[in-house]
Chain A
Amino acid sequence: MRRFLSILSATVFSAAFSASLLPGAARAGEASVPVLVPLTGFLSLEGTSQRNGAVLALKDAPAGVAVRSEVIDTGTSPEAAVTALERAAGGKVTAVAASMLGTQMLAMLPLAQDYGIPLVTVSGTASITEQGNPWVFRFFPGDAVTKEAHARYVAEELGKKRPAVIYQTTAYGQSGKAHLEQAFKKLGVEPVFEEGVDPAAKDLLPVLTKALAAKPDVLVLHLHSGPTALFIRQAAANGVAVPIVAGSAMHQPSTAALLEPAELKGVCAETAASPISGGSPEVEAFTAAYRAAFNAEPDAFALGQYDGIRMVLAAVQAGAGTAEAVRKALSAGTHQGLAMTYRSDGKGNMAHSAVIVCYDGASRVPAIAKRYDNVTGVVTGMAK
């Protein structure tokens, strides 16, 4: 019922939102920002967060900026994403809120370059900003940032030296696993166990058992939402005492909703941000607005996409009247977002901070345990 209400709220809000964007409003600038995200398929939860974040940012457009937008489901295939981009490109486009799925982004990049459309995404897949394409902007810390925070928390804060790494056999999982390996290596830590898990796996007890047989001192997860919840539930049911530090999927309220608070006790996770954990009046206001609009809890993807679209709109408000002007503004500017300060590293990586959140076993709202700001040192004037 809760999920139904959430979908209903989102749909009603989207309709109201579209109606509010009819031409005729007074404007200093005009922005057309299609939202092309996965609303169906295995990434529908995350994609819906992404959609909601973008829609909320467009609804809260700065004064004098009129926005036009439509939401198109990209599913999970690269082909559908390219088709959606081609469809969106039929009109004058300022920027696109683009899918968080790495393979879809890789497919959309050449077309975005051909059409000259900035893609604003929260995809964590490292390779999307390694193609030399100047039209991609990632408002979510890449694996180079989050996995360094992940590994540093495990090694420096928890003092663990024998991690077992369990990752997903998807682009997200393989990219994260590769960066975890590098980060652990830099810290002088050698994982005692590494195994990939298919996202369709219905029982993770076998991999948990194998991991425990390697006698790890910490379980490091890099799984999607559903598998993360399943793994933690099975670990709790089997009385596993080894601490768990999960990937960003764990911080999502929709993941925590799949578990009892007691099952979450002691579990930590890396993420870009945790809006439901609060931290500032602005973040709390965002969370309240999000809940009111969508009858759902916001996560880091929603906040990242919100911040990204807000930066686009700020550029338009500042006079960027074309997609090229917006691209330049995103490439060269600095934006103080709700989650962090954003600035491009020259490749389109805008986010350089991550946090570690932990659950106390009493509620599904985690507390921020550690911040890792400006991990890459890109944001000038901010300490690493």
Chain B
Amino acid sequence: MRNGVRKLWALAPTLTLPRFAGEGIGVAVLVAYALLYASPYGLRVLTVAGVYALAAIGFQIVFGLGGALSLAHGAFFGIGAYATGILGSQWGLGFAATFPVSLLVPLLLALLVGLPVLRLESHYFALATLGIAQVVHLLAVNSPGLTGGANGLPGVPGIVLFGWAVPRGLPLAAAVWGFVALGGLVAWRLARGHWGRALTLVRDDPLAAGTLGLDVGGLRLAAFALSAVYAGAAGALAVHTQRVVSPEVLEFPVMVSVLTIAVVGGRGRVAGAILGAVLLLHLPEWFRFLERSYLIVYGVALLATIVLAPHGLTGLLDRLFPSRPAPLPEPAAPPETAIPTGPLLRVEGLTKGFGGVRAVDGVSLTLEAATITGLIGPNGSGKTTLVNLISGLETPDGGRVMMGNSDMAGQRPDRIARAGIARTFQAVSLPEGANVLAAVAAARLERDGSIALAEAHALWALERLGAADLAAKPCAGLPAALRRRVELARALARQPAVLLLDEPAAGLTDGEKAELAGHLRAIAATGTALLVVEHDMGFLLPLAGHVLCLDQGRPLYEGPPEGVRSDPAVVAAYLGEGV
């Protein structure tokens, strides 16, 4: 099946369009349909599609950009709906009062529940948010005094804008789509800016995002809360269009609809949310004449869409009508950061245990400016754990990690990164959907004022490593050596005082290792202190000025590289007896 789809892709014609031409055509078609062709029924379906588009735009933020499968989105939709329903039908309040409350209540609830549930990993997070949705639904059904119970509340007033009661039909559709346009514009700007780029990195690799100075928890919480605002707004508009609020707005089909819209439209894309909503709300109407059988046709149509367009409809359109690529920026060196001389990082008595295993046991080391320190040891000796402890990915049980006079032990990775520590990973992790320039620019998001500036600085980092020609290439499919170089460029773009490299030469040829060694010496020459974890003694020993050898979490040897091969303990534990 996959091969068949690939063949279809290959046959597809490619017509390069100016940027945003597709979006412009789509908007024009939608407006022309509403103004010239749509019946009251057509406008009604279009209005409901607008409501779901707004909800899906919000979902694109938390799910599409943030990668968090929040099944509470339907609940936030329903809470917004109930806020408007209760205040409008029971308290007699107008749109000007109810709409802000419908945004505020989901926001506050999202902030309240987001703190604990956002700590959970993928499917546990999804289950927790599903639980929230169930609780809210039960509350609505079982609080008839407030919510009208299972019957709900009729008599919700319509939208009133500046004293004008918006009538059904074209005005209501225009009002709803006005909110969609506003919400879409805000989401689009956020997605394309710092925040969206950062959130995407959090989705693709939260560990790397943290070590690049990004507050992963804060970004996730903000995405969760912002998506709740969109859901609340959509729920409020839904109630205004159907003039009654009932527990159906809190039921799982709403959530499933929004999720389907996001996936079919194209994950993470505002245009995808709109396209998906328009299609998915109209599709069942086109087949309504089939009575109950329409669901079969609807399901087949959805399945076909997902198979033929695995990246959604917007992905399909991008493939068929690719936009002209944006020109690369001029490389620009970031402002110089003064790296002090002398000891930059002091690790004192660091310990970490996992259950009964002491992975790091009383390790101390000092990294001096403009030096390269090698960290060696047999597999499982605690090298990567030590790097994780220093960079904040693991919390030490004891000991200190001193940067200047600050103890960074146990601090969040982003705080440690901002203090001047950068790192690479043993298994290179780059966002597969991004190109090299965007991947490296992610390192500058926390510092630079604009994406353009971040990319200019990223290109500078790539140039330093002789990899500028990779800038426009997608990260996916890069060979191992180039991936390591891109990751090094990303760490370099942080302008770190301390750079921790976890097996940077793994998988490289001798020529590539020699080239890498040259780059590392050049980086050290600027004042950066390097800690290099490596197994390849032929690569490391000529490079490092100082070596620390670990065994079972404890320091076994510390001294000049020349002493490594002659130290009997190192030979026995690491290099092997008789070597």
Q: Are B292 and A40 in contact (CB under 8 A)?
A: yes
Q: Assuming A78-B248, A107-B243, is B292 touching A39 (CB within 8 A)?
A: yes
CB contact between A196 and one of B44, B45, B142 (< 8 Å): that residue: B142
A86 to B44, CA, bound (A): 7
Residues of chain A lying within 8 A (CB to CB) of residue B168: 111, 114
CA of A7 to CA of B247 in the docked complex: distance in angstroms?
30
Q: Give the residues in chain B near A109, CB-CB below 8 Å.
A: 154
Q: Is B292 touching A82 in the complex (CB atoms < 8 A)?
A: no
Does B39 lie within 8 Å of A127, measured CB to CB? Answer: no
**Which residues of B have CB within 8 Å of A111?**
168
Q: How far is the CA of A11 from the CA of B289 in the complex (A)?
A: 11
The stretch that binds B, out of A165-173, A263-271, A305-313, A337-345, is A165-173
Bound complex: CA A44 to CA B243 (Å) = 24
- Total interface residues on A, using CB and 8 Å? 40
1/0 contact string of B30-73 vs chain A (CB within 8 Å): 00000000011100110010000000000000000000000000
Alpha-carbon separation in the docked complex, A197 to B44 (Å): 35
> CB within 8 Å of A: which of B118-164?
141-142, 144, 149-152, 154-155
Partner of A14, one of B141, B238, B247, B291: B291
Contacts of A40 in B (CB 8 A): 292, 295
**A-facing residues in B482-520 (Cβ within 8 Å):** none
**A103, B285: Cα distance in complex, Å:** 21
In the complex, the answer to whether A44 meets B39 with C-beta atoms within 8 Å is no
Whole-angstrom distance between the Cβ of A97 and the nearest chain B Cβ: 14
> A155-171: contact bitstring with B at CB < 8 Å (1 yes, 0 no)?
00000000000000111
Point out the residues of chain B lying under 8 angstroms from A384, CB to CB. Answer: none
Which residue in A14, A83, A127, A170 is a CB contact (below 8 Å) of B45?
A: A83
Q: Would you give the 0/1 interface string for A1-35, flagging 1 where the beta carbon is closer than 8 Å to chain B? A: 00000010001001000000000000000000000
Distance A171 CA – B149 CA, assembled complex (angstroms):
7
Q: Does A70 contact B (CB under 8 A)?
A: yes
Query: A107 contacts which chain B residues (CB < 8 A)?
Result: 154, 242-244, 246
A79 lies within 8 A of chain B by Cβ: yes
Please tell me if B9 contacts chain A, counting CB pairs below 8 Å: no
A110→B152 contact, CB < 8 A: no
Asked whether any CB of chain B lies closer than 8 Å to the CB of A94, the reply is: no
In the assembly, what is the distance between CA of A106 and CA of B152, in Å?
9
B565 within 8 A of A: no
List, in ascending order, chain B residues with CB within 8 A of A78's CB.
152, 242, 244, 246, 248
> Which of B40, B142, B246, B288 touches A106 (beta carbons < 8 Å)?
B246
How many residues of B are in contact with the other chain, CB < 8 A?
33
Determine whether the beta carbon of B242 is less than 8 Å from that of A174.
Answer: no
Chain A residues closer than 8 Å to B425, beta-carbon distance: none
B174 to chain A, nearest CB (A): 17
Establish whether residues A73 and B242, one from each chain, have CB atoms under 8 Å apart when the complex forms: no
Residues A131 and B154 in contact, CB atoms below 8 Å apart: yes
Cβ contacts under 8 Å, B292 to chain A? 7, 39-40, 44, 73
Q: Return chain A residues, CB-CB under 8 Å to B41.
A: 83, 86-87, 89-90
Report the nearest A residue to B245, measured CB to CB: A78
How far is it, in angstroms, between the C-alpha of A44 and the C-alpha of B291 when the chains are bound? Answer: 12
Give every chain A residue within 8 A of B44 (Cβ-Cβ). Answer: 82-83, 86-87
Could you mark each residue 301-337 of chain A with 1 if its beta carbon is under 8 Å from any beta carbon of chain B, else 0? Answer: 0000000000000000000000000000000000000
Closest chain-A Cβ to B254's Cβ sits at a distance in Å of 8
Contact A131 B150, CB 8 Å, known A39-B292, A72-B288, A169-B141: no
Nearest A residue (CB) for B251: A77
Contact across chains for B246 and A174 when beta carbons are under 8 A apart = no
Provide the bound-state CA to CA distance between A109 and B242, in Å. Answer: 10
Residues in B whose Cβ lies below 8 Å from that of A274:
none
Measured CA separation A102–B150 after assembly (Å): 9
Docked Cα-Cα span, A84 to B289, in Å, equals 11
Query: A residues within 8 A CB of B39?
Result: 90
The smallest beta-carbon distance between B46 and chain A, in angstroms, is 11
Asked if A175 lies at the interface with its beta carbon under 8 angstroms from chain B, I say yes
Task: Report the minimum CB–CB distance from A191 to chain B (whole Å).
Answer: 17
A121 on interface, CB distance cutoff 8 Å: no
B253 contacts the other chain (CB 8 A): yes
Known: A131-B155, A171-B149. A89 touches B246 (CB 8 A): no
CB-defined A-B contacts under 8 Å, sample of 25: A7-B292, A39-B291, A40-B292, A71-B291, A73-B292, A73-B294, A77-B253, A78-B248, A83-B48, A86-B40, A89-B40, A103-B150, A106-B151, A106-B154, A107-B242, A110-B154, A114-B168, A125-B151, A131-B155, A171-B150, A171-B152, A172-B150, A174-B149, A174-B150, A174-B151
Q: Which 6 A-B pairs have the closest CB atoms?
A: A103-B246, A171-B150, A86-B44, A171-B151, A39-B292, A87-B41
Given A77-B253, A79-B248, 17 further pairs, Cβ under 8 A: A11-B291, A11-B293, A40-B292, A40-B295, A73-B291, A77-B248, A79-B241, A79-B242, A86-B41, A86-B44, A87-B44, A90-B39, A103-B244, A106-B244, A125-B151, A169-B141, A196-B142
Binding site for A on B (CB under 8 A): 39-41, 44-45, 48, 141-142, 144, 149-152, 154-155, 168, 238, 241-244, 246-248, 253, 285, 288-289, 291-295
Residues of A within 8 A of B (CB): 7, 11, 14, 39-40, 44, 70-73, 76-79, 82-84, 86-87, 89-90, 102-103, 106-107, 109-111, 114, 125, 127, 131, 169-175, 196
